[in-house]
Amino acid sequence: MSLLKVNNLVTYFHIGNQMIKAVDGISFNVEKNETLAIVGESGSGKSVTALSIMGLINPPGKIMEGEIEFNKVNLLKLNEKQMCMVRGNRISMIYQEPMMSLNPAIAVGEQIREALIIHKAVPKSQAKKRSIELMNFVSIPESQVRYNDLPAKFSGGMRQRIMIAIAIACTPDLLIADEPTTALDVTIQSEIMELLRSMKNKLNMSMLLITHDLGLVAENADRVIVMYCGKILEEANVKDLFRRPMHPYTIGLMKCIPKIDCTVDKLYSIPGCIPHPSQFPVGCRFNDRCEVVKDICREKMPELIELEDGHKVRCWQWQ
């Protein structure tokens, strides 16, 4: 049963005379207790998709059309007061940079406690006790003492653990993790992802994992969506995607992964770079970087079609 259904979501930014098509007609579901990963380069529309779900798109951005149905309720029909009861309560989000998300002037324990008081109406004394328990839960050492420390006194990995504690404080149904391991070293990345997997299983949450790291996808996701220039190019079960990627963009991303048993002079990279959102090419948006491009690719956008059970691709060579 689907917990979240996104249908034909269109989110644009109007800047001067330019229309930035950040998210352009995407549809997907997140099932209960599932981890769905959205992958793609920076500028693909991954974070804007997450912010659209959270109701955090502000001018000059605007959700132009579509539906975001959560537990059978269309979030786009809710007013801001109603959305505040969902955001941080039933749906929580871990943002890319914890130091930018935490208030630098407020003790970390108080920031956790605030979520409990606002959303769960927990008495202040009880909320403090629960906040310390949550800090222990995410493996913050000496939580009783460190409750009153400011974010600056924590390392990047520990600040991310604080963000996770805030996100799970109200036991949400859906956790959105937007690049949760960015700027962390490899060892800390592994610890953070292990913590998220553990939280998901213990709390029976669904998770929307947004990343550009295919290694994280392989280890943590059940299904994968590949985004590029605001469009979904491929969608599949994680095992099917790695076994048989179909879109040239997905194949290119796979080829960029260094292989431990292969010696090469130079690592592979996809030719060119992602175009500016105001200058997307006509037709398939990957056509100016694709190594198997055809004439029709430069003329018309292909449809997203299902070729195998649950494996969808948007590419003319399959249509």
**pLDDT for 258-306, tens place per residue?**
777 766 667 888 999 999 888 899 999 999 999 999 999 999 999 999 9
Cis before 245? omega within 30: no
Contact criterion met (CB below 8 Å) for 37 and 209 = yes
Whole-model pTM: value is 0.93
Q: Are residues 133 and 216 in the same domain?
A: no
- The domain total for the chain is 2
Residue 84 falls inside a structural domain = no
Report d(CA 247, CA 226) in Å as an integer: 9
CATH number, domain containing residue 276 = 3.40.50.300
Question: In the chain, which residues have pLDDT < 70?
Answer: 262-265
pLDDT computed for residue 315 by the predictor: 97
Residue 269 falls inside a structural domain = yes
Domain hosting 207: range is 2-79+175-318
Q: Are residues 66 and 191 in the same domain?
A: yes
Identity at 285, one-letter amino acid code: R
22 φ/ψ angles, rounded to the nearest 5 degrees: -65, -45
pLDDT computed for residue 303 by the predictor: 96
| Residue 293 burial by Cβ neighbours in a 10 Å radius (0-12, 13-18, 19+) | middle
Q: Are residues 140 and 192 in the same domain?
A: no
Q: Are residues 184 and 158 in the same domain?
A: no
Residue 89 falls inside a structural domain = no
Tens digits of residue pLDDT in 220-238: 999 999 999 999 999 999 9
pLDDT computed for residue 226 by the predictor: 98
b/e burial code for range 60-98 (CB count within 10 A of at least 16 → b): ebebbebebbbeeeebbebeeeebeebbbbbbbbbbbeb
CA distances from 119 to 113, 150, 176, 288 (A): 10, 23, 18, 48
